Each structure stands twice: as structure tokens, then as C-alpha cells.
Structure 1
Amino acid sequence: MEYVTKLVFGFTGFVVAISLIEAVVLSRRKSATTPFAWHEVWISLLDLAVRRLMSLLPLSLATPLFSFAYEHRLFTVDINSALMVFALFIGQEFCYYWYHRASHRMRFFWATHAVHHSPNQLTLSTSYRLGLTGKLSGATLFFAPLVWLGVKPEVVMLTLFLNLMYQFWLHTTWIPKLGWFEYVFNTPSAHRVHHASNVDYLDANYGGVLIVFDRLFGTYVEEREDEPCVYGFVTPTTSRNPFVIEFEHWATLIRDVVKAKNPWIALNHIIQPPGWLPDGGGETTEELRRKNKAVVQSACETVNG
């Protein structure tokens, strides 16, 4: 695993350098009405630095989970041919899609993943703001099937890291649509939609390297010229306090679970989408779209007399 560690730290230095260059360029291009938010970059850098320090501690749930899965593996898989590399790539993409989708559709996983979506601007530095509680949330559960099938844990983790390396360049607003590439691969255009808080764009484009699983499972949404992306949350985060940004969603989740009237409601606060309320009057994606549709219909009726 030493080579993996060197790869991680080497790539980390590269992405930080490139993201800072982009930040300098964008800060000079921004108009006075929409100044570049340097504090978003500093918060992302702090998140990255603390996670690197935490990686030195034995806090991850991945190690015992992957060890158990590998000890009870169905096969022993050797990645020793182009076909096996391709099969691992597709398998990992499939697992990543469902991990990412669950991170948006289950509040427990969203509490960590929300940190990645907290910036109100989209820049390359957003790519490495991933949240401090990722290793403790059990998200590796979604990749354990690959280990259970017989792929070595270190190979699975390396493949996931390569997936995240690819996604670095997706966090940009200045790369246009890329033609035929958009039909198969995840691109900056597709990922801009993923990070947008526009009601029509919510909960879309979960892929890592590929966009094909989004097309297959009905979660692909194309970026539209008539609907510019608005980044951040539906209710934007205004705090510049890194502690608040890292833990506010965990704090509200714990509050709602503790105040729940019964265990069933408490469980639903954990497993239902963000914005879920017991009375159905919350702000889940479905409810927001229903409200937005009602507003549009009301406006049309008013115009038509």
C-alpha cells in the first residue's frame, strides 16, 4: 500500500496547485457584483488538510469491513488481463453510482456528503472538500461487494481513488459541453447539474467516470442554456465557520432523531431523503418539484385569465 500512499499525496499536491491557479485566474475575472469567494477555497483546503491528518489514525470502518468481506470471499480474482481491468472498472462504477445516489437520497449519508455540496460557487477546490466524517459513515459498504467477490481490498481502494482523480476536472464552470463525450462519460457540464440547487436539476448525474448508469436508471439531466446552474444548497449556507459547515447536517439529524415522537419516525429521519418530515410537508426533491409545478400552473392560469 506504500505506492498508493505516494500516489495519493502526489496527486493531492497537484490538484491543490492547479486549483489555486484556477482561483487566482477566476478571482481576476469576476465582476464586482459577484466577487470570487476565497473563503470557499480556504475551507476546502482546511477540510483536505484535516482529512490527511485523520488518515494517519485508525478510524476507518473500511479496514475491518473489507477484511471480513475478503475472508468470506466467493472467489479469488486476479486483475491480470484487459478484460478483468474492464470488468473491475464497470463494477466499481456501478457501486459508485449507488453510493453516490444513496449519499443524496438517505439523510444519514447526506450528512457527510453535504459538505461537498456546501460551496456557493463551483471551482476545482470544491473537488477536495469531502467532509471529515466519511471514514466513519460506513460509505465503504457500497464497495464491499467487490471485495466479497474476490477483488483485493487495496485494489478496490486504488480503483476508487482513480475514480476520484478523474472527477477533479469536473468541478469547473468554464469548460463547455463536449459533444459525443457527454453521452458516455461524466463531464463538467453533467457535473454542474449535479452540484446545482435548481429544482429541475436536483438529484441528478451521480456517475463517477461514466454517465451511462444515470441514463440507464433515469437520473440523467442535461444542462440547459435557459436554466443557469445555481450552486450550493436550496437554502444556501451563509456561515464561514468550518466547524458549522462540517457538522451542521449531523447536528440537525441528531436533533430530529432525539425529538422524534416514536422510533419509526426517528428511523425515517435517518433513512429518508434530506428534507423529509413526518407530515409530508418537508422539502424533499419530490415535494419541491410539486410545489414548483403548482406555482408555475398558478402563474399560467393567472396569465390566461
Structure 2
Amino acid sequence: MPPVELILLLLSPVFLICVLLEWRFAVLRQNNWYQWRDTLANAMLALLHQGADMLALLLLMPFFYWLHQFRLFTIELTALNLLLAFILQDFLYYWFHRGSHHIRWLWASHVAHHSSRLMNFSTAFRQSLTYPISGMWVFWLPMILIGYEPLLVFAVVALNLAFQFFVHTQAIGKLGPLEYLFNTPSHHRVHHACNPRYIDRNFAGVLIIWDKLFGTFVAEHANEPCRYGITDDFNSTNPLTITFYEWRRMWQELRSKDRSQSAWQVLLKMPAKLQTSPTEKTSE
């Protein structure tokens, strides 16, 4: 089993316990954070994503090891090198995540994660099975070329993704000094919000410093609660509809006889994120 799936599988009991505790907390506080259809869709999407990811890594691993022979350095497994790997991977994740909001081909996969109108721990499971197609794995190739062993690279990726589970919640407020260095639930609520001031902000995986360095950081404001979801009039709990929503729209544009853009522009342009309320129907 590839390291990403193995690590996430080992941590799955912790994830499940957190979901149950958050659901119980929401019930006691009479907060409508969970809806069973949405949670079930998230679980189904997680299974589809993990299956596709496992297959892709098994098929691509020979390529990763072939590429590894051209590495610039031979990196020994030390505590310092592990720390550097974690920081480098988090830096690359920032650019993958930012690209996923600005390049439509990548957004076609990533939009599934943002499509829920709810925000809870189970939202972290809401992933797309099409990530291998859109090319998430391409962003980790620099680590392999530098000299990190492929299995180690994907183990670090798994740890980064595991950390991100814990920032998908409304149950935790701001965390004091930790807000300056780390991605936190408050920072990530901003990322999932479709309010105009919050859209396309806070792309951090673990360290929020990248957003602060590259000008994409916005703090959560108490006087403007986050509205979750995407700006399109989309609210489905069908896993296949969620997965192929943007892919289908791209295909329709490519087939249109009236389109004014080239195929490359359709596939790579900035995704349309209209500055409207998610309760209003939008059109392009």
C-alpha cells in the first residue's frame, strides 16, 4: 500500500472519533454543522479519492524511481533532512493549492473540496478522484529530483494532508500565538468561505507563513462570518455530480461552436468565481 494511503488509514480511527465528537458538540449547541446526506457524500468521495490515489501511485511509482536516478544530491535520512523535507513539501503544497484556485484544469478537481455549504471535520474527506488526472503529483517531482527518496516524499505528503484534517472545523476559535505560524481552523475557515473578501486566500497546508510572505493571507473577521461553498448555484450531495461538475462544464465549453476562446484558454484560464451570494443563481 502506498505511504499516503497507509498513513491516512492508520489515522482513520482518530479522524472518525473527531467527527463524532464534533457532531455531538454541534447537537448540544444546536448548531447545524452536519447534515447526514452531506456527510455521507463526503465519506463516499473520500473512498473514491483514496482508491484513485492508490492506483495512481502504484502506476506512477516506477516513473518516480526512474526520475530519482537523475537526482542532484544523495540525501541521508536524518532529523534535519526530514524537517527540511517537511518544510519544502509544505512550500510546494502552497503553490499547488494556489494554482488549484487559479488554473481551471486544477480547479476542476479541487472544486469538489470547496463545494459543500457546510464546514466540519468530514469536509476534509470531500476530495476528488480526478487529482491524479489534473496532476497533483507533478508538484512533488522537485523533491524527487533534489534527492529525496520517493516513498519518503509521499509519506511527508500524507502527514501534511493528515494535519489539514484538523483545521476543518467551526468548533475551535482562534489559537493565540499559533495563528502567526501555523494554518489553524480560523485561517482555513477563511479559505473555504465564498465571501468576496475571503475568496482565494489562505492556501497554507501546515505553515501560514507562505500566505503572509506571498500576499495571500486574510484573517477571519468576527464582524463578517464565513459563508461556505462556491459562488455558483451548486448544492449537490451526489458524489459523481460533485466530482465531475467543473469537468462537465469545461467539456461543454470546448464543444460549443460559439466559444470565443481557444481550447487552451478554456482549460487553463482563471476559474470563474463570481462575487455574488451563494444563494443567488449565477451564470457565466
TM-score in terms of structure 2 length: 0.88
- For residue 239 of structure 2, what is the aligned residue in structure 1? 242
- For residue 57 of structure 1, what is the aligned residue in structure 2? 55
Query: 1:5-45 deviations in whole A, cap 9, x for unaligned?
Result: 543311123212321332243245336xx574221110011
Q: Which runs of 4+ in 1 moved over 6 A?
A: 1-4
- For residue 279 of structure 2, what is the aligned residue in structure 1? none
Structure 1 residues 99, 61: closer, same or farther in 2, change over 3 A? farther
Q: Which amino acid aligns with 2:13?
A: G
Q: Identify the range of structure 1 (193-202 vs 67-76) with the bigger mean alpha-carbon deviation.
A: 67-76
- For residue 77 of structure 1, what is the aligned residue in structure 2? 75
Structure 1 residues 76, 213: closer, same or farther in 2, change over 3 A? same
How big is the shift at 1:198?
0.3
Q: Tell me, yes or no, if the aligned pair for 1:194 and 1:205 is still in contact at 8 Å.
A: yes
**Where in structure 2 are there 5+ consecutive unaligned residues?**
277-284
Structure 1 residues 196, 61: closer, same or farther in 2, change over 3 A? farther
Q: Identify the range of structure 1 (241-250 vs 18-27) with the bigger mean alpha-carbon deviation.
A: 18-27
Q: Tell me, yes or no, if the aligned pair for 1:61 and 1:138 is still in contact at 8 Å.
A: no
Q: What SS class does the counterpart of residue 186 from structure 2 fall into?
A: helix
Match among 157, 161, 174 for residue 158 of structure 2: 161
Q: Tell me, yes or no, if the aligned pair for 2:52 and 2:132 is still in contact at 8 Å.
A: no
Q: How many Å separate the matches in 2 of 1:144 and 1:35?
A: 38
Q: Tell me, yes or no, if the aligned pair for 2:115 and 2:235 is still in contact at 8 Å.
A: no
Residue pairs, 1:248-259, within 5 angstroms: 248-259=245-256
Query: 1:26-69 deviations in whole A, cap 9, x for unaligned?
Result: 245336xx574221110011112223344553576743552343
Is residue 136 of structure 2 the alignment partner of residue 139 of structure 1?
yes
Q: Which amino acid aligns with 1:274?
A: P
Q: Identify the range of structure 1 (94-103 vs 173-182) with the bigger mean alpha-carbon deviation.
A: 173-182
Q: How many Å separate the matches in 2 of 1:206 and 1:58?
A: 25
- For residue 29 of structure 1, what is the aligned residue in structure 2? 29
Q: Tell me, yes or no, if the aligned pair for 2:48 and 2:128 is still in contact at 8 Å.
A: no
Is residue 85 of structure 2 the alignment partner of residue 88 of structure 1?
yes
Is residue 106 of structure 2 the alignment partner of residue 109 of structure 1?
yes
- Number of aligned residues: 276
Is residue 169 of structure 2 the alignment partner of residue 192 of structure 1?
no
Is residue 120 of structure 2 the alignment partner of residue 123 of structure 1?
yes
Structure 1 residues 245, 179: closer, same or farther in 2, change over 3 A? same
Structure 1 residues 35, 195: closer, same or farther in 2, change over 3 A? closer
Q: What SS class does the counterpart of residue 166 from structure 2 fall into?
A: helix
Q: How many Å separate the matches in 2 of 1:189 and 1:39?
A: 25
How big is the shift at 1:166?
0.9
Match among 191, 214, 217 for residue 214 of structure 2: 217
Q: Identify the range of structure 1 (20-29 vs 92-101) with the bigger mean alpha-carbon deviation.
A: 20-29
Q: What SS class does the counterpart of residue 212 from structure 2 fall into?
A: helix
Structure 1 residues 162, 261: closer, same or farther in 2, change over 3 A? same
Q: What SS class does the counterpart of residue 170 from structure 1 fall into?
A: coil
Q: How many Å separate the matches in 1 of 2:172 and 2:246?
A: 31
Q: How many Å separate the matches in 1 of 2:236 and 2:165?
A: 25
Q: Tell me, yes or no, if the aligned pair for 1:103 and 1:110 is still in contact at 8 Å.
A: yes
Structure 1 residues 161, 35: closer, same or farther in 2, change over 3 A? closer
Q: How many Å separate the matches in 1 of 2:143 and 2:149?
A: 8
- For residue 15 of structure 1, what is the aligned residue in structure 2? 15
Match among 176, 180, 188 for residue 173 of structure 2: 176
- For residue 201 of structure 2, what is the aligned residue in structure 1? 204
- For residue 281 of structure 2, what is the aligned residue in structure 1? none
- Provide the identity percentage: 36
Q: Tell me, yes or no, if the aligned pair for 1:61 and 1:136 is still in contact at 8 Å.
A: no
Q: What SS class does the counterpart of residue 264 from structure 2 fall into?
A: helix
**Root-mean-square deviation (Å):** 2.4
Q: Tell me, yes or no, if the aligned pair for 2:22 and 2:171 is still in contact at 8 Å.
A: no
Q: How many Å separate the matches in 1 of 2:257 and 2:100?
A: 22
Structure 1 residues 264, 75: closer, same or farther in 2, change over 3 A? farther
Q: Tell me, yes or no, if the aligned pair for 1:75 and 1:150 is still in contact at 8 Å.
A: yes
Query: 1:94-137 deviations in whole A, cap 9, x for unaligned?
Result: 10100000111111011111111111010000111111111222
Structure 1 residues 48, 85: closer, same or farther in 2, change over 3 A? same
Q: Tell me, yes or no, if the aligned pair for 1:115 and 1:129 is still in contact at 8 Å.
A: yes
**Where in structure 1 are there 5+ consecutive unaligned residues?**
276-282, 290-305
Q: Tell me, yes or no, if the aligned pair for 1:59 and 1:136 is still in contact at 8 Å.
A: no
Structure 1 residues 65, 109: closer, same or farther in 2, change over 3 A? farther
How big is the shift at 1:70?
0.9
Q: Tell me, yes or no, if the aligned pair for 2:114 and 2:230 is still in contact at 8 Å.
A: yes
Structure 1 residues 177, 19: closer, same or farther in 2, change over 3 A? same
Query: 1:218-274 deviations in whole A, cap 9, x for unaligned?
Result: 000010011110000112422222211111111001111232667962211211111
